Amino acid sequence: MAIAGKAVLVTGANRGIGQALAAEALARGAKRVYAGAREPVAHPDDRVTSLRLDITDTAQIQAAANQIESLDMLINNAGVMLRDDLTDPAVLEHHLAVNLLGTHAVTQAFLPAVTRSRGAVVNVLSLNALAPLPLLMPSYSVSKAAAFSLTQSLRALVAGQGVRVHAVLPGPVDTDMTRGSDIPMASPESVAAAVFDGIDNGDEEIFPDPASAPIAARWRDSIGKQLERQLAQVALGSS
Ligand SMILES: NC(=O)c1ccc[n+]([C@@H]2O[C@H](COP(=O)([O-])OP(=O)(O)OC[C@H]3O[C@@H](n4cnc5c(N)ncnc54)[C@H](OP(=O)(O)O)[C@@H]3O)[C@@H](O)[C@H]2O)c1
């Protein structure tokens, strides 16, 4: 689906990858960009509508959904990453509250609008959805793996209504989230461009940077992808 002439909502649009996704949508001719942020700021482009949207706040999610008339694409980008070692359940709960349950709540609130337009849901996950970084960020990895499963199930559940569901699985990107790391990182702008290219291309999984791109072909032919397709056909009563 090309974004030109379409309405898109990006969560966490105030900085990092979310800000780059909003800018790329505008550059590609989006008709309207709803920029969700916990602290919304005015944007010079009059195609941008700023929305107050903490993805863990049910009332804010509902208020935002009431404000939107039509929506072609929901990009669930907002997320948190704290380093941990799995010893503190509160850290795991926080990751799940934002990266999994927040993504789920926003999706459910906007799915009726996306379904009416036969649009797309795009979940920004991480390569750590496929394999964890246990010595650095195991709780983050758990939350992204769970959000990937959520993405796969949603894909099967809404496919019959013409809604496309994409998973974005980036490697390291140069944002506040990775500040202080000395590993090679992609720019948020290059990742945003690759995300929209992947959506245009109909890629279910989008690997948008040099670290993740080599995985794309192997993922498409993997046992994980084959099983996803096979199990998506299994329904109650089928043998
Ligand atoms: N950077 C990487 O290397 C990398 C790699 C793979 C995947 N990702 C994923 O890419 C997405 C964006 O990350 P980033 O690198 O751009 O990180 P970032 O610069 O730290 O930005 C995170 C964004 O999420 C927002 N956010 C956090 N909690 C929120 C909440 N409860 N409600 C609404 N917004 C919330 C932040 O808003 P505030 O400004 O209000 O805090 C901010 O806009 C995340 O899902 C992340 O997991 C990043």
Which pLDDT value is given to residue 236? 65
Q: For this structure, is 140 an active site residue?
A: yes
Q: Answer yes or no: are the C-beta atoms of 31 and 7 closer than 8 Å.
A: yes
Digit-coded pLDDT (tens) for 80-108? 999 999 999 999 999 999 999 999 999 99
State percent of the chain over pLDDT 90.
97
- Domains of the chain, first to last: 7-231 (3.40.50.720)
> For the chain, how big is the Rg over CA atoms in Å?
17
Digit-coded pLDDT (tens) for 55-80? 999 999 999 999 998 999 999 999 99
Question: What is the CB < 6 Å shell around ligand 1?
Answer: 11-12, 14-18, 37-39, 53-56, 77-81, 98, 102, 124, 126, 170, 172-173, 175-178
State percent of the chain over pLDDT 70.
98
Q: Answer yes or no: are the C-beta atoms of 207 and 219 closer than 8 Å.
A: yes
Strand partners, 173: 186
DSSP letters, 31-65, are SEEEEEESS----SSTTEEEEE--TT-HHHHHHHH
For residue 237, is pLDDT > 80? no
Digit-coded pLDDT (tens) for 98-145? 999 999 999 999 999 999 999 999 999 999 999 999 999 999 999 999
> Measured in angstroms, how far is the CA atom of residue 232 from the centroid of ligand 1?
30
pTM recorded for the entire structure: 0.98
Kindly give the number of the ligand 1 atom that is closest to the alpha carbon of 56.
Answer: 31
